[in-house]
C-alpha cells in the first residue's frame, strides 16, 4: 500500500485568482505532468482543489 503524504497545502499570493501548482503525490508516483490548475475568488481566504487522480490540495491565500 503506498504511503500517503500529509495534507497538501499550497499558498497563493493575496491578489491571485487562478493558479497552477504541482500535486506532490502525483509527482512522487511518477506522473509525467503532475500539475493542477485551480481558481480562488478574491473574496475567499481558503479553498480546495483536486488533481485528476483525486488527491486533495488545500489552498490558502497569503497575507490576508
Question: Collapsing DSSP states into helix, strand and coil, what is residue 24?
Answer: helix
Kindly report the pTM of this predicted structure: 0.81
Do 19 and 13 contact (CB within 8 A), yes or no?
no
Q: Is residue 2 part of a domain?
A: no
Q: Is residue 46 part of a domain?
A: yes
Owning domain of residue 39? 8-61
Running DSSP on this structure, what letter comes out for residue 15? Answer: T
Q: Is residue 55 part of a domain?
A: yes
Q: How many domains does the chain have?
A: 1
| pLDDT > 60? residue 2 | no
Do 61 and 48 contact (CB within 8 A), yes or no?
no
Do 31 and 23 contact (CB within 8 A), yes or no?
yes
Do 12 and 64 contact (CB within 8 A), yes or no?
no
Q: Is residue 3 part of a domain?
A: no
- Residue 20 CA to residue 10 CA, distance in Å, equals 10
> pLDDT of 18-61, one tens digit each?
999 999 999 999 999 999 999 999 999 999 999 999 999 999 99
Amino acid at each position: 500500500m503506498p504511503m500517503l503524504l500529509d495534507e497538501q497545502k499550497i499558498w497563493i499570493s493575496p491578489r491571485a485568482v487562478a493558479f497552477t501548482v504541482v500535486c506532490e503525490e502525483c509527482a512522487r508516483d511518477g506522473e509525467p505532468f503532475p500539475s493542477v490548475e485551480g481558481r480562488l475568488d478574491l473574496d475567499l481566504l481558503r479553498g480546495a482543489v483536486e488533481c485528476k487522480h483525486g488527491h486533495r490540495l488545500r489552498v490558502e491565500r497569503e497575507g490576508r
